Amino acid sequence: MNSSSKIIAIKAFSDNYIWAITNNKSLALVDPGDANVCINFIERHQLKLDAILITHHHPDHTGGIEKLRSYCQKLQWPITVYGPKNENIPFNDVKLIEKDTVNLANLNISLQVIDLPGHTAGHIAYFSNKEDEPALFCGDTLFSGGCGRLFEGSPQQMLNSLTKLVNLPESTKVYCAHEYTQANLKFALTVEPENQVLVDYSQRVNELRAKQQATIPTSIKVEKQINPFLRSHEPTVQASAMQFDNNAQASTIDTFTVIRRWKDQF
C-alpha cells in the first residue's frame, strides 16, 4: 500500500473480515458480505465508496453488493464492482483474470490480479506490489495456518495456487477473509508438533484471541514457517502425512492431498 492509504478490518458475521482500503476520503471494500456493517463504517468515518473488489462467489463475500450499490446510487456516487471473470458475481462491472490490473485512481493504488482456483473454480486475489509494504487480499485461499476447503477445485489446483502466493515477497502482508487462525494452528501443531516457530506463534495467537484481538494480517514469511499447507515439501510434514495415511507417498502433492483430507475431518 502507499503511505497515504491504510487497510482497516470491518468485522462481519461470526468470523469474517471485510477489508476497507481508505485514504480518509475514498474507500474500496474487499469482499463485503454484509452491507450494513460497511454502511456504518462509511458513515462513521465520512468516506465515499468508489469500488468493491470480490475474490469469489460465496454469499459471505458477495452478499452486500446489491445494497451497497443502491446506497451509492442514491448518493450519486459512481461505484465499480470488480470480480473474477469465471464466476457469477452480482453486478460485476469489470471481469478479471490473472495479470489484469485494477487501478484505483482515487486511492492511488494499483492491484495485480492472481488466479487462485481451488476453494472455488474462479477464485482470484488482489496484490499490491508496493516495495515498502506489499499487500495481498486472498479471500479464502490462504489463511494463517491453513487454506480454504476444496469446494470446486482439485488438490493440485490449490497447491499450484498456494505456490504462486509462496513466491510473493516474504514481507507481503496477507489479508485473508476469516479469523480461523486459532483452529488452524491446533491442526498445524498436530502435523508438526516439534516446529518451534509454530509453537511460539500459536502461543502469541492464543494471547491475542484471549483479548479478542485480530491475528490478521499475517505475512508470507510467517506462513512459510508455520502453515502445513505451504510446507508439504518438508520431510516433517511428509512424515506426518504418511503416518496418517499409510498409502501416502513422500511427494509434495501426495502430502498436500492427505493433509487437506485430514484437516477436513479434524
60 catalytically annotated: yes
119 catalytically annotated: yes
User: What's the rounded Cα separation, in Å, for the pair 195 and 190?
Assistant: 10
50 catalytically annotated: no
Residues 6+ apart with CB under 8 A from 153: 117, 118, 119, 120, 121, 123, 161
Catalytic residue among 31, 50, 115, 140: 140
User: What's the rounded Cα separation, in Å, for the pair 83 and 54?
Assistant: 5
57 catalytically annotated: no
CA angle 54, 52, 125 (to 5 degrees): 35
Catalytic residue among 34, 50, 57, 61: 61
Cell of 204: 502469541
User: What's the rounded Cα separation, in Å, for the pair 67 and 232?
Assistant: 42
User: What's the rounded Cα separation, in Å, for the pair 228 and 190?
Assistant: 10
Catalytic residue among 60, 115, 123, 254: 60
CB 82 within 8 A of CB 102: yes
Catalytic residue among 31, 34, 50, 58: 58
Quick one: which of 64, 109, 114 has its CA closest to 90? 64
56 catalytically annotated: yes
45 catalytically annotated: no
Catalytic residue among 50, 57, 115, 119: 119
Catalytic residue among 56, 57, 123, 254: 56
245 catalytically annotated: no
Residues 6+ apart with CB under 8 A from 137: 19, 30, 31, 53, 55, 111, 125, 126, 127, 175
> Catalytic positions, please?
56, 58, 60-61, 119, 140, 178
